[in-house]
Amino acid sequence: MSSAGAPAPSSLSARALPEACAGAPVPPDAMSAVCVRTPHGDMWVAALLPLKEPTKANSRLVVLHVGEAGSSVSLELGPILDTRLSSEGSLLFDFDSDGHEEWFLRYDGDRHLLMTFSRGRIGTYPHPGGVIERFADTDGDGRPDPVFRYEYGRAVGCADTVQITHQHTGHTQATGRIVLDDRVVQSRLRAECPAPQHGPFIASAGQRISPASVRCARVWGMSGDEAVRRIVSECAAWPKGKDCTSPCGDFDVLLTYAMRDPPVKIL
């Protein structure tokens, strides 16, 4: 991480621009840049610039939109930790069918941009809160759907301490609206979790409780308190944690899922 007195990262002026950035108005002091050309002849550019003054960040993120005629507008999005940008996982798609593709780009590990260009200005395309990890056409309608990621912290599993992460796939509607929940999402949830959890989590002697079964119980409306009560009661006679032969070997992981409200529940 940069600090006062440390040598400034070298700029792209001393190195070759990425091939995709040929002819793009990349700021001359950019330390890293990503450029994508749209089917309509426009271009999106993201660049990391040196900090104006020392902070805990490492660079400033600037996004530019370049029109067919070469005119460009820019938007500075503030200090970030990254010192290098990557186009891995980026996406171009005209969500609102206005003739200009929106641009999805990941940065800083768990942060993202979903930029739009309209009426000569750059802005953020509206979507529900949360981290979008990627887009994928999950229902075959030709529109990429957002896959949201939720971090639930760390917990002791049967073999090791693990980072608990939950993914939820939303839906991109025909109007271009990005939503967490609608009839398509409800149908997908019912396929993943076919029935409510009426019986015990340990359905037969020695069967391990899966995090998926706890998550589905919460999706079907079981309260966090009820899920915790059931897990604690059923696991009373079993070894908990660091024992992958026990039905409750993932005890802490199960409690984590039990206590977290799912982003969407089955209606």
User: Is a pLDDT exceeding 60 seen at residue 1?
Assistant: no
Specify the pTM.
0.86
Query: Which range, 29-33, 85-89, 254-258, is most confident?
Result: 254-258
User: Domain tally for the chain?
Assistant: 2
140 lies in the same domain as 107: no
30 lies in the same domain as 82: yes
The pLDDT assigned to 216 comes to 96
159 lies in the same domain as 231: yes
| % of the chain with per-residue pLDDT over 70 | 94
HEC string for the chain: CCCCCCCCCCCHHHCCCCHHHCCCCCCCCCCEEEEEECCCCCEEEEEEECCCCCCCCCEEEEEEEECCCCCEEEEEEEEECCCCCCCCCCEEECCCCCCCCEEEEEECCCEEEEEEEECCEEEECCCCCCEEEEEECCCCCCCCEEEEEEEEEEEECCCCEEEEEEEEECEECCCCCEECCCHHHHHHHHHHCCCCCCCCCCCCCCCCCCHHHHHHHHHCCCCHHHHHHHHHHHCCCCCCCCCCCCCCCCHHHHHHHHHCCCCCCCC
168 lies in the same domain as 61: no
156 lies in the same domain as 117: no
Residue 16's pLDDT band, with cuts at 50, 70 and 90, is low
User: Is a pLDDT exceeding 90 seen at residue 53?
Assistant: no
Domain boundary among 91, 126, 161: 126
Domain boundary among 108, 126, 144: 126
The pLDDT assigned to 11 comes to 58
121 lies in the same domain as 165: no
10 lies in the same domain as 107: yes
Domain boundary among 74, 92, 126: 126
Query: For 136-160, how does the pLDDT look when each residue is reduced to its tens digit (9 = 90+)?
Result: 999 999 999 999 999 999 999 998 9
46 lies in the same domain as 112: yes
- Any idea what the CATH number is for the domain that residue 30 is in? 2.40.128
Query: For 193-232, how does the pLDDT look when each residue is reduced to its tens digit (9 = 90+)?
Result: 999 988 899 988 778 999 999 999 999 999 999 999 999 9
100 lies in the same domain as 150: no
User: Is a pLDDT exceeding 90 seen at residue 110?
Assistant: no
3 lies in the same domain as 90: yes
The pLDDT assigned to 109 comes to 78
Range of the domain at 184: 133-267
85 lies in the same domain as 145: no
156 lies in the same domain as 255: yes
Question: Average pLDDT in the 81-106 region?
Answer: 92
Among the ranges given (50-54, 182-186, 214-218, 260-264), the one the predictor scored with the smallest mean pLDDT: 50-54
User: Is a pLDDT exceeding 90 seen at residue 34?
Assistant: yes
The pLDDT assigned to 15 comes to 54
Average pLDDT, the chain: 90
